[in-house]
Amino acid sequence: MKQIYILATMVLINFGMVNAQDNPLLGTFNTPHEAAPFDQIKTGHYMPAFAEGIRQGETDVEAIKNNTEAPTFENTIVALDHVGELLKRTSGIFFNLLESETNDDLQNIAQEVSPLLTKFQNDISLDPVLFARVKKVYEQKESLGLNTEQMTLLENSYIGFVRRGANLSDADKEKFRGISAGLSKLSLTFGENVLKETNAYELHITGKNQLAGLPEGALEAAAGKAKDKGKEGWVFDISMPSYLPFMKYAENRELRKELYLAYGSKSFKGNEFDNQENVKRIAGLRLEQAKLLGYKNYADYVLERRMAMNPAGVYALLDDLYQASYNVALQEKKEIQEYANTLGFEGEIMPWDWTYYSEKLKVKKFDLSDEMLKTYFELNNVVDGVFGLATELYGITFKPNKNIPVYNDEVTAYEVFDADGKFLSVFYTDFHPRASKRGGAWMNDFKGQWKVNGTDSRPHVTIVMNFTRPTETKPALLTFDEVETFMHEFGHALHGMLANSTYPSLSGTNVYRDFVELPSQIMENWATEKEFLDRFAKHYQTGETIPAELVQKIVDSQNYLAGYLSVRQLSFGYLDMAWHTLEAPYKGSVKEFEESAWKKVQIFPVVDEVCMSTQFGHLFAGGYAAGYYGYKWAEVLDADAFSVFKQKGLFNKEVAASFRKNILEKGGTEHPMTLYKRFRGQEPTVGALLERSGLNLN
């Protein structure tokens, strides 16, 4: 039935029976800055728009192939970069909403359309006529007089065709098609399963005596959840604003364990949402794809186009940081174990004890807790502070515009302007958890940036969070971790909003995956600077500016558990590399594979009921396969880069202008190390990161 529906839609379009009057996705958006008309779009509009987008894209491709003129940079390479504009626009809207405002209908459409989109991409990259034209231009590259950005686009285009199978035999091209279609559907299913597992769980408590230790804010939020569900008492779930306070403060160890196991066992229960087979199938198909293209494993394939260059480069970074971190982590665990024992705890600290006792020790050592800080981080004030930092550094300003449609009442849309008043971007913020939104935090764009015919087409950028909600008596008060998360995603947003490239595929965050986290992670550094915090961190009731001694406690505690946090990140990197350096399909236990992969960095006993791989969306439903190490690599970059601001001034206009010009505006127009050295004057070293973290390699 699904295929019949798709074919019927295409027939209607081909005969002119579906048009812009019936479907807002098919016409010009009559909105400010041609922003997506969310208030007009209905679920039934997507498939016709996808079908028409594919049809138009195929027409674009045929025009390139049938061009009787000799292949040139403009009529082949640039033309290919602009193929399928309607399809890109529709995809940008649909797949963003699939993550942040999903439902069963959208998920069904995603399963229908993903094979069609994969086929469309394969039809381009596996077309011998198109590749011949691209290759002809590429072979003449030294004589074409191209500038740096043009040369990058040409090289990316040629290499992209090769890496997507253009040189394969006809038989192997068919294999490639099957593999890529399978990966597309499996990744969607993986993410859907994790979201459904997350939404399926709740911890309903009716006895107040079971909630000892929990702060008033957490109790009020849980009572609000219960009320929304028509239940008495309190409801906790495994969204981060609900889960984390429970793990930090709840005295009831059995309930902490229950919640931990629910969180850690997502899609690992052998039920309809189980991802164990999906993990093995995804890893296996990626390996098969890599081998088809001549690589021994998927990591070799991916890392060829990364700053790390190969698995050896990744392992060198991970191993260096392991040497600096592991013994420190063991000492931290020993300290917390001994502290817990002084409070009457018996036995070995388990993962469901760690957050609880480490938080108690943090309060004892630094007289600091989330509850002490949250009162100074009211969400609206934090928004003003973060936006104000961008104004101070880059001169940009943010103006809410209620005439720009939004997809949920909780979303705010802004116009962003440069210092000279020039329009830069539409910017959406979406802060709180919903059942229709996947967990975590991310930045994306509904529309990218590019230049064509003398016009700079500006981006439409979004950041999506899962932050603590307001309650009946309190506004949304953020934890310090949430403030840092906001700044992280806002850094990504700046990368998108300040984009200043000519070609869409090189613009904004279209950079090497192990470079994309630099603009985000560098922003987090300002969060511990008193000079910045004084601008917005004010008590939500009294208006008092955050006291200097409290900021100093944040600074003093900054490296608390630095060893543990480092090995935790390293464990994810080692797990990622294990799955993607496989040279033969893995048929065994996902749990056993996982435990073997990260054994050297684990400091807790194995818990049989939990599994990371089955919920690791970055790897199996996102773009970080063979690239999770990039977070640690970006820490090296951001610590090194921020040291320039520390040396020359937190709000130094010259340093900010250089970072904007050489990093944020350039996107993927040049190799990232070239861009970084142009800003920094040298290659980065691990020294700044180790110094900031209080770790060393000795």
- CATH number of the domain bearing residue 335: 1.10.1370.10
258 plus 291 within the same structural domain? no
pLDDT at residue 17 greater than cutoff 50: no
Q: Which residue, chain included where needed, has tokens 């990371």? A: 612
Query: What is the pLDDT confidence band of residue 692, given thresholds at 50, 70 and 90?
Result: confident
14 plus 116 within the same structural domain? yes
147 plus 205 within the same structural domain? no
What letter does residue 52 receive in the DSSP assignment? Answer: H
Residue 172 falls within a domain, yes or no? no
- Tell me which of 628, 654, 684 is where a domain ends: 628
CB 415 within 8 A of CB 428: no
Q: What is the pLDDT of residues 279-311, one digit of tens each?
A: 999 999 999 999 999 999 999 999 999 988 999
362 plus 281 within the same structural domain? yes
Residue of 467, 52, 471, 21 lying closest to 227 (CA atoms): 471
- The CATH number assigned to the domain holding 81 equals 1.10.1370.40
pLDDT at residue 9 greater than cutoff 70: no
Compute the distance between CA of residue 522 and CA of residue 177 in angstroms, rounded to an integer. Answer: 39
Residue 674 falls within a domain, yes or no? yes
Q: Could you tell me how many helices (H) and strands (E) the chain has, helices first?
A: 28, 9
Give the rounded distance of the alpha carbon of 86 from its chain centre: 24
pLDDT at residue 10 greater than cutoff 50: no
Residue 196 falls within a domain, yes or no? no
Q: What is the pLDDT of residues 521-569, one digit of tens each?
A: 999 999 999 999 999 999 999 999 999 999 999 999 999 999 999 999 9
490 plus 422 within the same structural domain? yes
Where do runs of H (alpha helix) occur along 468-621? 480-497, 518-524, 530-533, 548-556, 562-580, 590-597, 617-620
Q: Which residue, chain included where needed, has tokens 């998927």? A: 298
pLDDT at residue 7 greater than cutoff 50: no
47 plus 60 within the same structural domain? yes
Neighbours of 541 (CB within 10 A): 10
pLDDT at 58: 98
Compute the distance between CA of residue 120 and CA of residue 41 in angstroms, rounded to an integer. Answer: 24
- Rg of the chain, C-alpha, whole Å: 26
3-state secondary structure (DSSP) of residue 101: coil
3-state secondary structure (DSSP) of residue 424: strand
pLDDT at residue 5 greater than cutoff 50: no
663 plus 547 within the same structural domain? yes
Compute the distance between CA of residue 503 and CA of residue 149 in angstroms, rounded to an integer. Answer: 8
161 plus 234 within the same structural domain? no
What letter does residue 77 receive in the DSSP assignment? Answer: I
Residue of 526, 506, 484 lying closest to 655 (CA atoms): 526
Q: What is the pLDDT of residues 651-671, one digit of tens each?
A: 999 999 999 999 999 999 999
Catalytic entry in 192, 288, 359, 489: 489
**665 a catalytic residue:** no
431 plus 352 within the same structural domain? no
305 plus 360 within the same structural domain? yes
Q: What is the pLDDT of residues 249-276, one digit of tens each?
A: 999 999 999 999 999 999 999 999 999 9
Residue 185 falls within a domain, yes or no? no
Neighbours of 536 (CB within 10 A): 22
Can you give the residue range of the structural domain that contains 532?
379-556+631-693
* Mean pLDDT, all residues of the chain: 94
∠ CA 54-58-59 to the nearest 5 degrees?
120
Q: What is the pLDDT of residues 166-188, one digit of tens each?
A: 999 999 999 999 999 999 999 99
Joined tokens for residue 432: 């709180």
Domain count, the chain: 4
639 plus 623 within the same structural domain? no
pLDDT at 691: 81
pLDDT at 289: 98
Residue 373 falls within a domain, yes or no? no
263: Cβ contacts below 8 Å, ≥ 6 apart: 238, 243
Compute the distance between CA of residue 247 and CA of residue 404 in angstroms, rounded to an integer. Answer: 39
Compute the distance between CA of residue 29 and CA of residue 38 in angstroms, rounded to an integer. Answer: 10
Percent of the chain with pLDDT over 90: 92
3-state secondary structure (DSSP) of residue 75: helix
Residue 189 falls within a domain, yes or no? no
Q: What is the pLDDT of residues 142-167, one digit of tens each?
A: 999 999 999 999 999 999 999 999 99
